[in-house]
Amino acid sequence: MTDKIQVKDVTDDAVKTVDLYQEREKIYVRRIKGFYRNLRVYGGAALFALYFGTLWLDWNGRQAVLFDLPARQFHILGITFWPQDFMLLSWALIICAFALFLVTVLAGRVWCGYTCPQSAWTWIFMFIEEKTEGKRNARIKLDDQPMTLEKFARKAAKHLLWLAVALATALTFVGYFVPIKTLLPQLVTFQVGGWAIFWIAFFTLATYGNAGWLREQVCIYMCPYARFQAVMFDQDTLIVSYDEARGEPRGARKRGIEPSEVGLGDCIDCELCVQVCPTGIDIRDGLQYECIGCAACIDACDSVMDKMGYEPGLIRYTTENSLEGKPSRILRPRLIGYGLALAVMIGLFSWVIATRVPLDLSIERGRGELHRITSEGLVENSYQISLMNMSERDHRYRLSVDGLDDLELIAPPMVEVEAGGVAEFPVRLLINPNELQLPNNEIHFTAEAVEDPSQRVSAESRFFGPARF
Amino acid sequence: MSSFWSFYIIGITTIFLVGIVALIHFTRRMPDSEGVGETTGHQFDGIEEFNNPMPKWWLNLFWATIIFAVGYLIAMPVGNWKGLLNWSSSGQLTNDQIEHERRYGEIYQRLASVPVEDLKDNPQAMRVGQRLFEDNCALCHGQAATGGYGFPNLTDNDWLYGGAGDTIKTTVLGGRNGQMPAWGDALGAAGVRAVAEYVMQLSGQDDVNASLARQGQTLFNASCVACHGQDGTGNHALGAPNLTDNTWLYRIPGESLRDSVQYTVEHGRSGRMPAWADVLGEERVHIVAGYIYSLSQL
């Protein structure tokens, strides 16, 4: 009983506290030239051309790609998607997701580094930053010095240019939902609706905030893909890595010295790879979840190795297995599985799109009694027919029914439905009870365009009669 | 709302908001961990959760939502407080109704001048009429207007009150009260059976007991012709059904027709079609009548 219980001083003075929330540390990204940067610049240019250019293409007298929300129609080139086609949209998104998984298994986060809009716009904004505030060191200096007229002018120019790019982005984005060729003239003459203004402002600010201020914070804290992509990595996934065996021990040295003579590895500890990293990490600490696979550090390191006269590839795209000296396979069950799933889905999707009939027939059995006996003693069932013309022109449709002999259809002889319209109408079927073998029979309604027999769809329904005992 | 509940709601909302602010304030600081790498002690399958600080903008988003909440509570109604924007759900409904009338009123007005029987040639009127029918009439008369037990079939061109367009419109506007008196006491059980047998004969059934029907005819001529007419073909002015056809308003499927008719004669029937003038207004009733008329013309 002489042992004392350990005590801990918890008075306010003794315990140092820290804020639970952390300021973002601004990352000053150095620009670098190199092979992977060129890949990004040209690839990005193509993607930007796609994003800003698609908007101005026309098709059949309307915008080629238009997501018409009020009319609930998505026009993509020659095809119009309706709410009924939501499954197709889902599958299209699932296909995109699987393509992303496949790429991730193969090459890690290259989507993030090269094609993700968040990254692409961030690189654009960084380019503007460089042009207005100068190179990395100049920017750091500029931020440290007190406000001068020059500093203000540079900062103002930067933010104005950022806002201009953001506005162009937002206008383009809204243009996919409101036809751009009516939107722009309306904007110039101040005749635009409140919601359009709101969304343009919203996307402008979102673009400006994301690419200007948040940048890597989106990748680190917000992006769901960043959260779950780690589970797709395996030992054979291409990752940007520093070859520790070759680089360590790092240290400065004169040019032209054989590293082994001074007991050093190939890394000269110039910190360039850290300075070019858009997420501000040191790749030499190994694979980190912040890494977006953009290969800026590879470009930086290769240029240094070149200057030093060493082999390139101290930092390179490689796999964990190769780093450990094991054989690395590209084709592995995980990749083959994703590839097969993707191929099957793309095939089926293309087939469904190619054979799609732009006509929708849905049958709803009349509510209430399952069948009636008319005053003539015939058995009658009623149905609610809904015909949807999903094509680009008006059509007349003829309705027919089969499945039972001598079934009489009481319906309009011809139903006209304008392009993008729906016709709903009740129809009745009559039959002599002697023709009915069963109390419950399968029947098929068929709708066919009068002008175009290829537009023909069938839908199953049931015909009920009196029960037989 | 009584002022107690009003204060109750406003009080709870305020306490909740203040509580959130207090929560942020008192959890802002934590003991300094020994640099990075400290975990929260949570472990899942050997994966540990680090206790790293959260980004500041995250907290600022939280502040933004709190400020939004305060603004929202001032702008929108809470308790008895009406809100600066003066929004209310009933006001919203009224506005929507006014907007609706503004948009569709002129369509109804334009169609109001078209005679009921000509509406069937107007696709727009037919679409509107069908919608109105499905929303208001289909519940009793069925989606295809084929009626049911006690509810007339509107597609067979067999009318209790007459099938002219304006007559249909009158029916829908003011409703109808179809009364068949109970004759059980007056006729007695044997009389009911005889009259029912005669009615069967009138409608052309083939298993009729002729002598019983002859007895029934005498009774029929004494009691029933006032409404159903000398020949049993009914009377549109009274809504008395035609007994010579094979349309039966009160025939239960599966029950023999004779039993149904006997029941009707003995106990009477009371059918009520509600008036729609106050529900739909005349302009809409006009279009519904046009739609119903078109069904009988198919």
pLDDT digits (tens, 9 = 90+) for A238-282: 999 999 989 888 888 888 778 888 888 899 999 999 999 999 999
Report the pLDDT value the prediction gives residue A62, as an integer from 0 to 100. 85
- Which residue spans within A294-407 are E strands per DSSP? 315-318, 359-365, 372-373, 379-389, 395-402
Nearest CA in chain A to B146: A382
Average pLDDT of the segment spanning B178-197: 93
- Given a cut of 90, is residue B118 above it in pLDDT? yes
Is residue A300 within 8 A of residue A316, CB to CB? The reply is no
Nearest CA in chain A to B245: A375
**Residue A374 in contact with partner chain B when CB distance is under 8 A:** yes
What band does B296 get if pLDDT is binned at 50, 70 and 90? confident
Contact A24 B123 (CB under 8 A): no
Report the pLDDT value the prediction gives residue B200, as an integer from 0 to 100. 93
- Given a cut of 70, is residue A156 above it in pLDDT? yes
Report the pLDDT value the prediction gives residue A405, as an integer from 0 to 100. 87
Contact B138 A367 (CB under 8 A): yes
Report the pLDDT value the prediction gives residue A23, as an integer from 0 to 100. 82
d(CA A281, CA B125): 69
Contact B298 A410 (CB under 8 A): yes
d(CA B144, CA A363): 13
Which of A21, A387, A399, A408 to probe the B interface (max B CBs under 10 A)? A21
What band does A13 get if pLDDT is binned at 50, 70 and 90? low
Nearest CA in chain A to B124: A423
CB contacts, 8 Å: B59 with chain A = 21
d(CA B62, CA B52): 18
DSSP A78-139: TEEE-GGGHHHHHHHHHHHHHHHHHHHHHHSTHIIIII-HHHHHHHHHHHHHHHHH-SHHHH
Burial class (CB in 10 A: 0-12, 13-18, 19+), B133: buried
Residue A372 phi/psi, 5-degree rounding, is -125, 155
CB contacts, 8 Å: B53 with chain A = 18-22
What band does B165 get if pLDDT is binned at 50, 70 and 90? very high
**Residue B223 in contact with partner chain A when CB distance is under 8 A:** no
Nearest CA in chain B to A19: B29
Report the pLDDT value the prediction gives residue A9, as an integer from 0 to 100. 66
pLDDT digits (tens, 9 = 90+) for B238-292: 999 999 988 899 987 677 889 999 999 999 999 999 999 999 999 999 999 999 9
Mean confidence (pLDDT) of chain B: 89
Q: Which of A17, A21, A410 has its CB closest to that of B32?
A: A17
Burial class (CB in 10 A: 0-12, 13-18, 19+), A370: middle
Q: What percent of chain B clears pLDDT 90, i.e. is strictly above it?
A: 59
Report the pLDDT value the prediction gives residue B20, as an integer from 0 to 100. 92
Contact A369 B253 (CB under 8 A): yes
Report the pLDDT value the prediction gives residue A452, as an integer from 0 to 100. 87
The mean-pLDDT minimum among A105-109, A116-120, B36-40 falls in: B36-40
Report the pLDDT value the prediction gives residue B34, as an integer from 0 to 100. 55
Q: Is A74 helix (H, G, I), strand (E, B) or coil?
A: strand
pLDDT digits (tens, 9 = 90+) for B269-279: 999 999 999 99
Report the pLDDT value the prediction gives residue B33, as an integer from 0 to 100. 56
Report the pLDDT value the prediction gives residue A24, as an integer from 0 to 100. 84
CB contacts, 8 Å: B143 with chain A = 366-368, 382, 384, 426
Helix-then-strand count for chain B, H and E: 12, 6
Helix axes A180-188, A149-175, angle to 10 degrees: 140
- Given a cut of 70, is residue B37 above it in pLDDT? no
**Residue A238 in contact with partner chain B when CB distance is under 8 A:** no
Average pLDDT of the segment spanning A270-295: 91
Q: How far is CA A229 from CA A219, A234, A239, A265, A369, in A?
A: 12, 11, 13, 33, 55
What band does A12 get if pLDDT is binned at 50, 70 and 90? low
- Predicted structure pTM score: 0.77
d(CA A382, CA B274): 24
d(CA A139, CA A31): 12
- Tell me: cis bond preceding A249? Omega within 30 of 0 counts: yes
pLDDT digits (tens, 9 = 90+) for A192-231: 888 889 999 999 999 999 999 999 999 988 899 888 888 8
Nearest CA in chain B to A377: B246
User: Which of B 33-52 lie inside 8 A of A, CB atoms?
Assistant: 33, 52
- Given a cut of 60, is residue B36 above it in pLDDT? no
d(CA A114, CA A131): 22
Report the pLDDT value the prediction gives residue A253, as an integer from 0 to 100. 86
Q: Is B2 helix (H, G, I), strand (E, B) or coil?
A: coil
Contact B155 A428 (CB under 8 A): yes
Contact A24 B57 (CB under 8 A): yes
pLDDT digits (tens, 9 = 90+) for A355-364: 888 899 999 9
What band does A137 get if pLDDT is binned at 50, 70 and 90? very high
Report the pLDDT value the prediction gives residue B52, as an integer from 0 to 100. 74
- Given a cut of 80, is residue A469 above it in pLDDT? no
Contact B144 A384 (CB under 8 A): yes
User: What is the DSSP secondary structure assignment for residue A32, as one 8-state letter?
Assistant: -
Nearest CA in chain B to A468: B254
Report the pLDDT value the prediction gives residue B79, as an integer from 0 to 100. 79
Q: Strand A359-365 to strand A239-242: parallel, antiparallel, or no bridges (unpaired)?
A: unpaired
Element (H, E) at A220: none
User: What is the DSSP secondary structure assignment for residue A211, as one 8-state letter?
Assistant: I
- Given a cut of 90, is residue B228 above it in pLDDT? yes
d(CA B265, CA B263): 6
- Given a cut of 90, is residue A15 above it in pLDDT? no
Contact B146 A428 (CB under 8 A): yes
- Given a cut of 60, is residue A16 above it in pLDDT? yes
What band does A284 get if pLDDT is binned at 50, 70 and 90? very high
Chain position carrying tokens 């904007």: A187
Average pLDDT of the segment spanning B166-179: 94
- Given a cut of 90, is residue A45 above it in pLDDT? yes
The mean-pLDDT minimum among A22-26, A337-341, A413-417 falls in: A22-26
Report the pLDDT value the prediction gives residue B54, as an integer from 0 to 100. 82
User: What is the DSSP secondary structure assignment for residue A5, as one 8-state letter?
Assistant: P
Rg (CA), chain B: 35
Mean confidence (pLDDT) of chain A: 89
Is residue A302 within 8 A of residue A312, CB to CB? The reply is yes
